[in-house]
């Protein structure tokens, strides 16, 4: 293994800049495939709309439903994909979804060491750090140190389980519902369920500003 | 074990457990072409032209130097081109000519915001 870093050197977006080599390649590949009628001209645009419709708000909806409805929670843990589809969240790919439940004994973390597999139908696209070398390399060997870099400190008596995603199997963390949220509405609960809680790099917590008022 | 065994045992994508520096919590909004590239990947998967594992292996086949220097979606589109050549769906000459056409067009108008169809046959 080399020690080079996988920094994605993103160039600034400039509308007047000449179109780059890889962008030209993307356009050329797409046009050739459309010309050969292997893909339809509308399919790319339609899939962009699908991608834009997927955000962590969908995952939060799933988590809140699981917090409030034990029967749904059981179905979700048995077959993540089917339970999400129940809520109208379609899977546009062939992936299986395994939902990993955090408990007072276990904290889950997801990663894709080989590339960037991620539960996109329920969370949208992953953040860049999820796709870069430091997280992929270290999550499986020193998860406590990785979590500490996100400000998450898990006591030593709580097991940390790291699940490595594949092309066919994706994971979603079901975070622990914070104590003191018994009177919360669904919308208030959903606000606690961020993307990073469902990756497992942080825990769902009540923001400091709300702690004193409730 | 020789010094070169790691080159065989660990391909470029296989970095789980490797030494690495601190996690920089970087994110960026996708550029329009990057989002089109992602959508293209999904559509290629839907049509069973290139699936996720073929894409991953295609990126790995670019080799460690290219993987280190290209951005995420640059790696994807380069991998797609190579896989499409291997499957005899496109030829390198065909792609080079189309890229010349696209590049020539982009100097006079912006190709990023529309989807001009290409003549078939």
Task: Please check whether residues A78 and A115 belong to one and the same domain.
Answer: yes
Band of pLDDT at residue B8, cut at 50, 70 and 90: confident
Residue A15 covered by a domain:
no
Asked whether residue B19 is domain-assigned, the answer is: no
Query: Rounded distance, CA A37 to CA A124, Å?
Result: 28
CA distance between the termini of chain B? 54
Residues A42, A108 within the same domain: no
Task: Output the CA–CA distances (angstroms, integers) from residue A21 to A35, B74, B77, B86, in the order listed.
Answer: 21, 9, 11, 21
Q: Is residue B39 part of a domain?
A: yes
List the CATH number of the domain containing A129.
3.90.330.10
> Is A112 designated active site?
yes
Domain check: are A40 and A80 in the same one? no
Confidence of residue A212 (pLDDT cuts 50, 70, 90): low
Does A133 map to a domain?
yes
> Nearest C-alpha of chain A: how many angstroms from B92?
11
The reply to whether residue A18 touches residue B84, judged by beta carbons under 8 angstroms, is: no
The model carries a pTM of: 0.87
pLDDT at A209: 75
Annotated catalytic, A115? Answer: yes
Asked whether A67 and A56 are in contact (CB, 8 A), the reply is: no
Whole-number Å distance between alpha carbons of A151 and B47: 42
At B46-76, the pLDDT tens digits run 999 999 999 999 999 999 899 999 999 999 9
Q: Tell if the CB–CB gap between A6 and B10 is shorter than 8 Å.
A: no
Residue A133: domain span: 55-210
Over residues B9-16, the mean pLDDT reads 87
User: Residue B79 falls within a domain, yes or no?
Assistant: yes
User: Of A107-111, A196-200, B68-72, which gets the smallest average pLDDT?
Assistant: B68-72
> Which residues in chain A touch residue B6, judged by CB atoms under 8 angstroms apart?
1
Residue B2 Cα distances to A74, A89, B8, B65, angstroms: 51, 50, 11, 22
Domain count, chain B: 1
Domain match, A96 and A158 both: yes
How many contacts, defined by CB atoms under 8 Å, are there between A and B?
207
Closest Cβ–Cβ partner in B20, B71, B99 for A133: B20
Which pLDDT value is given to residue A19?
82
Chain A interface, mutation test: which of B40, B78, B120, most A Cβ atoms within 10 Å? Answer: B40
Structural domain harbouring B41: 31-103
Please state the rounded mean pLDDT for residues A32-60.
97
Q: Does one domain contain both A109 and A29?
A: no
Whether residue A62 contacts residue A122, with contact meaning beta carbons closer than 8 Å, is answered with yes
- A196 within 8 A of A145, measured Cβ to Cβ: no
The CATH number of the domain holding residue B93 is 1.10.472.20
Q: Which of A53, A90, A115, A165 is catalytic?
A: A115
Is residue A84 annotated as part of the catalytic site, yes or no?
no
Domain count, chain A: 2
Q: Interface pTM (ipTM) of the complex? A: 0.86
- pLDDT band (50, 70, 90) for residue A156: very high
Give the CA distances from residue A179 to residues A136, A206, B92, B103, in Å, rounded to whole numbers and listed in that order. Answer: 31, 9, 60, 58
For residues A105 and A124, membership in a common domain is answered with yes
Q: Which of the residues A84, A117, A163, A165 is marked catalytic?
A: A117
Mutant choice from B6, B10, B14, B17 vs A, greatest count of A C-beta within 10 A = B17
From B83's Cα to the closest Cα of chain A, the distance in A is 12
Residues A33, A128, single domain; the answer is no
Q: Considering only CA atoms, give the Rg of chain A.
A: 20
């Amino acid at each position: 293994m080399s020690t080079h870093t996988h920094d994605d050197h993103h160039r600034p977006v400039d509308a007047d800049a000449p179109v780059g080599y890889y962008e030209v390649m993307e356009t050329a590949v797409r046009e050739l495939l459309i010309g050969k009628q292997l893909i339809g001209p509308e399919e790319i645009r339609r899939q962009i709309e699908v991608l834009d419709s997927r955000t962590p708000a969908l995952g939060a909806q799933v988590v809140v439903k699981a917090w409030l409805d034990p029967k749904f929670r059981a179905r979700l843990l048995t077959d993540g994909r089917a339970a999400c589809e129940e809520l109208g969240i379609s899977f546009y790919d062939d992936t299986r979804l395994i939902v990993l439940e955090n408990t007072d004994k276990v904290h889950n973390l997801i990663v894709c060491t080989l590339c960037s597999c991620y539960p996109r139908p329920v969370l949208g696209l992953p953040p860049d750090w999820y796709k870069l070398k430091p997280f992929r390399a270290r999550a499986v060997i020193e998860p406590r140190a990785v979590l500490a870099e996100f400000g998450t400190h898990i006591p030593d008596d709580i097991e940390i389980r790291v699940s490595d995603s594949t092309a066919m199997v994706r994971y979603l963390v079901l975070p622990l519902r914070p104590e003191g949220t018994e009177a919360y509405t669904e919308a208030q609960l959903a606000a606690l369920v961020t993307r990073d809680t469902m990756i497992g790099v942080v825990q769902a917590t009540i923001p400091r500003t709300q702690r004193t008022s409730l | 074990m020789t010094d070169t065994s790691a080159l065989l045992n660990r391909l470029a994508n296989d970095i789980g457990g490797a030494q690495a520096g601190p996690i920089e919590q970087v994110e960026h909004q996708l550029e329009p072409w990057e989002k089109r590239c992602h959508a293209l990947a999904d559509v290629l998967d839907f049509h069973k032209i290139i699936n996720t594992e073929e894409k991953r292996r295609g990126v790995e086949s670019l080799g460690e130097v290219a993987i280190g220097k290209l951005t995420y979606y640059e790696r994807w589109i380069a991998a797609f081109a190579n896989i499409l050549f291997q499957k005899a769906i496109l030829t390198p000459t065909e792609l080079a000519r189309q890229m010349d056409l696209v590049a020539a067009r982009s100097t006079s108008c912006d190709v990023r915001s529309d989807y001009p169809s290409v003549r078939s046959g």
